[in-house]
Structure 1
């Protein structure tokens, strides 16, 4: 198990643990097979929704459902569900990461983003792989047939600051 702590973009933080072996356990290849092991998503890494008043909506969910606000520092804990970390992040209606006319975006955690991107591209799906490695991992974006954005996230632990 690896411990995750990091920043998504400029504002989101994830703390939790995951087991990258989960993806390997679900591959279709059999012993002795030359078939490429298919990648599977490990879980939901976040749900991003548009909101007229993100602060008010965040406060309402925190009050009524116990979902922590999106952390703004490494000292704050995010909402963590069983089997993996999840970010709850109401966003302004004009946020660029969610396509116009859509109100949400998936974020799926994956064990190996390069293998997952290669798998999608081999299936004829366009993928935009972010060339930057962030303190909490790597990202890629896919658009589904309905025009909904899907963000793939390979979590990584940030480097510890030197003393």
Structure 2
């Protein structure tokens, strides 16, 4: 019997949920629905990982989580976010698992943006 087959949703608290939803909609293109969330239907792999609390992968955020969003064109999105005044981290990575970049949302959460390798 399979018990868990994937991620069904991601839920987190916000100091100002309305403003945070608006930021994700405006800057990351998340289609926020009337009930306050979004449903992603694009196929792709979802990664689940538990990290060492002593690591600095989430820095400069102090949150205990980081959400990774698949994107089509990382470089173009990072430039658009910079142009829109968002806090985009300078560091990017390009390797066998694809391209990665990061932005900080208005509540200080580090958001990972991932452009999968071609064919994924």
TM-score by length of 2: 0.58
Q: CA deviation at 1:143?
A: 0.9
1:115 corresponds in structure 2 to 76
Counterpart Cα distance in 2 of 1:148 and 1:64 = 30
Cα distance change of structure 1 residues 131 and 141 upon mapping to structure 2, 3 Å threshold:
closer
- CA displacement, residues 73-116 of structure 1 (integer Å, 9 cap, x when unaligned): xxxxxxxx972110010111112112464111011111111110
Give the unaligned 5+ runs of structure 1: 1-62, 68-80, 159-163
Segments of 4+ moved more than 6 angstroms: none
1:65 aligns with 2:4: yes
Q: TM-score, normalised by structure 1?
A: 0.44
How many residue pairs get matched? 83
User: Which consecutive unaligned segments of at least 5 residues does structure 2 have?
Assistant: 7-40
Which residue in the other structure is 2:17 paired with? Answer: none
Q: 2:98–2:116: 8 Å Cα contact kept in structure 1?
A: yes
How many Å separate the matches in 2 of 1:95 and 1:112?
28
| Greater percentage in strand | 1
The corresponding residue for 1:85 is: 45
Task: Give the equivalent residue in structure 1 for 2:58.
Answer: 98
